[in-house]
Structure 1
Amino acid sequence: MTEPLEKRLEKAMAELHEAQEAVARTERELREASFAVLSSDRAVRATVGPQGELTGIEFLDSKYRDMSPQELAASVLEAASAARTKMNRHVMKAMAPFTEPSSNVPELKGFELDWERIFGPEVLRDDDETATARDTAASPGWRDALGEDEDGEN
């Protein structure tokens, strides 16, 4: 038996209202989000805000004093890039439910988002691939011995 049009419309409107509330909650959460990441040499911590903008740089343990300008710049860029990638992935995860079609109302399709166009191709690489590329560039052996992850945390 086919469901009456009025009932289907009522369901669609209720689901649309729920989706609008969920989008508003997600937007509020994302406006407050930030990520901080240590460079692989542990000399720099970069923090980015909700739009991937650089909001903070910390030079740790006076290591910067013994670095060349090029080394320091590379550490800053590495940490900032990794923090931005974390934020981008966080946004993608938060928005994922809105890209799925409705299970109750098949006519309500999810939003189509071109993540590669929005964030660039590097955000679509999985964590293992990104970590391998970063570790190949510079991975201090003492980090493995201490059991630390890529952010310098246990």
Structure 2
Amino acid sequence: MSDMRETIEQRLAQAMADLETTQTAVARAERELADASSTVRSPDRAVEVTVSAQGDLTELKFLDGKHRTMSATQLAASVLEAVQEARAVMARQVMNTFEPFTRPSDAVPELPGVNVDWHKIFGPGVLDGPRAGANRSSSSRLRDEINEDTED
């Protein structure tokens, strides 16, 4: 019986050590992401945007005066597309940073990793940024819809 108790105590000690290591690693990851950002240029290279790890727009630059020859709707679509892509890039960076914490413990397999609902955290569509998938991006469809509107 003492062998079994020793094993349980050893496993508990290992689990506590793993928990402490994980807490330290999570705190380090949070500090690293606190200052992280993603900078993306729009496909038409008219604008450059920077977003924070939380997806907040922190900087917007109009490049080479291209915005002067664009309609307001074209410029708005360029800004939106760049922001969507920057948010998707940043979301993937956050996911990659925290992914190790979603795995079960190597030392104590009974301790599962953290279950994270990334879509709930980042919202719908963020992980499917304009350059991530479909043949036509959402902003291309937006441009088509805007261009189809007629002004009186």
TM-score normalised according to structure 1 size: 0.80
Mapping of residues 51-90 of structure 1, within 5 Å: 51-90=54-93
Uncovered stretches (5+) of structure 2, i.e. residues with no partner: 142-152
Q: How many residues in Structure 1 have an aligned counterpart in Structure 2? A: 138
Structure 2 Cα separation of the partners of residues 126 and 85 of structure 1: 5
Deviation at 1:103, TM superposition (A): 1.5
Deviation at 1:53, TM superposition (A): 0.2
Query: For each residue in 1:96-134, what CA deviation from the matched residue of structure 2 results, as whole angstroms up to 9, or x when unmatched?
Result: 001111111022111111111112343444997427443
The structure number with the bigger radius of gyration is 2
Which amino acid in structure 2 is aligned with residue 15 of structure 1?
D
Which amino acid in structure 2 is aligned with residue 39 of structure 1?
S
Decide whether the 8 Å contact of 2:81 with 2:130 is kept in 1. no
Structure 1 Cα separation of the partners of residues 42 and 127 of structure 2: 21
Q: RMSD between aligned alpha carbons?
A: 2.4
1:120 alignment partner, one of 118, 123, 128? 123
Alignment correspondent of 2:9: 6
Which amino acid in structure 2 is aligned with residue 27 of structure 1?
E
Decide whether the 8 Å contact of 1:39 with 1:79 is kept in 2. yes
Alignment correspondent of 1:107: 110
Decide whether the 8 Å contact of 1:26 with 1:95 is kept in 2. yes
Structure 1 Cα separation of the partners of residues 129 and 79 of structure 2: 22
Structure 1 Cα separation of the partners of residues 131 and 40 of structure 2: 17
TM-score normalised according to structure 2 size: 0.81
Structure 2 Cα separation of the partners of residues 69 and 95 of structure 1: 39
Which amino acid in structure 2 is aligned with residue 122 of structure 1?
G
Uncovered stretches (5+) of structure 1, i.e. residues with no partner: 139-154
Structure 1 Cα separation of the partners of residues 89 and 40 of structure 2: 9
Identity between Structure 1 and Structure 2 (%): 51
